[in-house]
Amino acid sequence: MKKVILLAIVFFVGLSWFNAPYSHSDSDQPPKARTGAPNESTCAISGCHVGTINSGTGSIQMSFNSGATTYTPGQTYPVSITVASPGAQRWGFEAVALNSSNQSVGTFIGSSANHTGVGSSSGRQYIYHVDAPIQPNSYTFNFQWTAPTTNAGNVTFYLIGNAANNNDQASSDLIYTATRVISGVNVGLEQNRSWIDMTTYPNPATNQVKVQYQLPSSQHLTFRVLNMAGAMVGQATTTFQQAGNNTYNIDLDESNFANGMYWLQMTNEKGETSVQKFVVNR
């Protein structure tokens, strides 16, 4: 009798584990590559959020830089995505930005405080929900996007949103998709210094590059290194710097930085950006 009870417990625990992916509906964060972009599926598949895409009365919409339709290379812009559907209670989304060759361009900047996070898969970077928020009828996710340092032409943002009923089941959730195209402005990189001048050295660099600049006031700065396609290499670093002459060091580990040409991007608290080219040659 004890053996039968033990086997029954093991069976129900195993069944609960097997059904777990279907009950929590990826509330922590969604699986990547589900935006409906070229060569990607969506969330409306078996084992995820079953149903017909865009069959509800809601929508997913993106606002770029307060309604702007163009980007300047190297600049950082505020972006918001609103998922709305009458009666829905919990919200999720995912987005990717692709050029005309379907390559990921630019850099997303998320914040857990705004329920957004970033991650990569198969060479594409994604912005998506983190800890899906609960709010009736609609929710707006806020984040930033840094444009590639060179003009990538038209950039298409592929969006997918989940308007869930918060019953911990994959059924009866509504999936919405949309696209938004932002055009590049032809600005030469050597002229793309809308904030302050800076100098990088040594150039070529080996294991470390130094950036020198003069700040008009004390503030937080974010440093990123991007490849020539405008994709971020390594991790972004934010640091508080005092007014006046400053020098900041960036390590170039061999696992991330192969020999070649890169752009160093420095962004202030207002989103103003300066860029400088340097070469890695070991």
Measured CA to CA in angstroms, residue 16 lies from 11, 56, 112, 197 at distances of 9, 30, 29, 59
Domain containing 225 equals 193-280
- The reply to whether 124 and 47 lie within a common domain is yes
Residue where a domain stops, chosen among 128, 159, 184: 184
- The reply to whether 114 and 204 lie within a common domain is no
The pLDDT assigned to 18 comes to: 31
Residue where a domain stops, chosen among 153, 184, 215: 184
pLDDT tens-digit profile, the chain (282 residues): 444 444 333 333 333 333 333 334 467 888 899 999 999 988 766 556 666 788 889 999 999 988 888 888 888 899 999 999 999 999 999 999 999 999 999 999 999 999 999 999 999 999 999 999 999 999 999 999 999 877 888 999 999 999 988 877 666 788 999 999 998 875 444 444 457 888 899 989 999 999 999 999 999 999 988 887 667 888 889 999 999 999 999 999 988 899 888 888 888 888 788 888 888 988
Q: What is the pLDDT of residues 138-166, one digit of tens each?
A: 999 999 999 987 788 899 999 999 998 88
The pLDDT assigned to 11 comes to: 35
The pLDDT assigned to 61 comes to: 96
Tokens coding 249: 């060091």
| Cα–Cα dist 45/142, whole Å | 27
Among positive and negative, which fits the CA dihedral 255, 256, 261, 263?
A: negative
Q: What's the order of all strands across the beta sheet hosting 155-164?
A: 70-71, 174-184, 155-164, 90-98, 124-129, 116-121
Tokens coding 134: 């609960």
Q: What is the pLDDT of residues 86-130, one digit of tens each?
A: 999 999 999 999 999 999 999 999 999 999 999 999 999 999 999
Query: Can you give the CATH number for the domain in which 259 is found?
Result: 2.60.40.1930
Phi-psi bin for 8: left (phi > 0), alpha (psi -120 to 50), beta? alpha
Query: Can you give the CATH number for the domain in which 66 is found?
Result: 2.60.40.4060
- The reply to whether 202 and 156 lie within a common domain is no
- The reply to whether 258 and 202 lie within a common domain is yes
Lookup result for tokens 């003009």? 151
- The reply to whether 114 and 34 lie within a common domain is yes
Residue where a domain stops, chosen among 163, 184, 205: 184
Burial of 173 (C-beta count, 10 Å sphere; 0-12/13-18/19+): buried
The pLDDT assigned to 170 comes to: 64
- The reply to whether 174 and 40 lie within a common domain is yes
